[in-house]
Amino acid sequence: MTDVAQLLISGAAIGFIYALIALGFVLIYKATEVVNFAQGDVMMLGAFVAFTFSSLMGLGFWLSLPLSLIVMALFGAFSIVYCCGPSLACQHSRL
């Protein structure tokens, strides 16, 4: 019986993660009218960073969670400043 409960909780958690990713796609599409598939890649990068901290470095879940959030926040800031910043700073003409 505990296996069934564990499978239900695990399935619900995965479903909630999928729902959050789908909401991110909808939010990006409604705001920019461009389909941006890089959002899923960034989510997977965050998952791999958390896996690296938790399993490969042996830090444990509760320590790897804030560390992975910090690393991904730095990655987001870096990508905004150095990748998106130059394109946002230049003047574009409208058609």
How far is 36 from 34, CA to CA, in rounded Å? 6
Residue 45's nearest CA partner among 22, 16, 79, 7 is: 79
| pLDDT above 80 (res 88) | no
Q: Which DSSP letter does residue 37 get?
A: T
| 46: Cβ contacts below 8 Å, ≥ 6 apart | 68, 72
Cβ neighbours of 31 (radius 10 Å): 9
- pLDDT tens digit sequence for 21-58: 889 888 888 888 888 878 888 888 999 999 999 999 98
Banded pLDDT at 94 (limits 50, 70, 90)? low
